[in-house]
A and B are shown apart, each in its own frame.
Chain A
Amino acid sequence: AQRVTQPEKLLSVFKGAPVELKCNYSYSGSPELFWYVQYSRQRLQLLLRHISRESIKGFTADLNKGETSFHLKKPFAQEEDSAMYYCALESDRGSTLGRLYFGRGTQLTVWP
């Protein structure tokens, strides 16, 4: 069965420090993985997806199939990065859109 695990509910770092939000998944097929972010009082929105292999707001995430991980990293955290981050896996994308399975989320706080 599909499962997304985010082991940390809360994560705090100081401004300028590196940050890594962990995400592990279990899925028998070829996964499509995403990171979504929800800033305070804003809607849940896509941050990045692994297939794009791009950096958004300084964040990157590499899919490691051997370790079944998709950790989100940023070398220098900023206060505005404080938000709730969700890792998500899309299953069964074929001719139609697959469904998303979300992790429980990690609340990141970046202290000044």
Chain B
Amino acid sequence: DAGVIQSPRHEVTEMGQEVTLRCKPISGHDYLFWYRQTMMRGLELLIYFNNNVPIDDSGMPEDRFSAKMPNASFSTLKIQPSEPRDSAVYFCASSPPRGETQYFGPGTRLLVL
């Protein structure tokens, strides 16, 4: 099993552009989490899904951020328009039902110029 897969691994874009981050959870996991990691704020939960339904999106910073999970094997996190302060590493994680842990992807390093 390749584990949680994220793409792209690195993204450099200009302010104002739309950015789409992708995640494929581990097969059979019904929880999916999106995190953002910055030097200033550490690792923050943005949103998480259970069975493709958003459960808690209170961590989504503002309307520029949106996340979808159209099916059990795919999720996207979109930033539109992007801003330099969005520069961070974005992690996706998945967990089985009542799992002991979350399994993290390798992260997407985003730089907005």
Q: Could you list which residues of chain A lie within 8 angstroms of chain B, going by C-beta atoms?
A: 34, 43-46, 49, 52, 86, 96-97, 99-105
Contact = CB atoms under 8 A, between A and B. Distances in A.
A105 B101 contact: no
Contacts of A100: 33, 45, 102
B36 to A, nearest CB: 11
8 contacts: A43-B107, A44-B91, A44-B93, A49-B101, A96-B50, A97-B31, A97-B50, A97-B99
Interface residues of B, number: 26
> From DSSP, what is the main secondary structure of chain B's interface residues?
strand
Interface in B79-113: 91, 93, 95, 97-107
Given A46-B100, A49-B100, 20 more contacts: A43-B4, A43-B104, A43-B105, A43-B106, A43-B107, A44-B91, A44-B104, A46-B101, A52-B100, A97-B95, A97-B98, A99-B45, A99-B48, A99-B56, A100-B33, A102-B43, A103-B42, A104-B42, A105-B42, A105-B43
A100 to B, nearest CB: 7
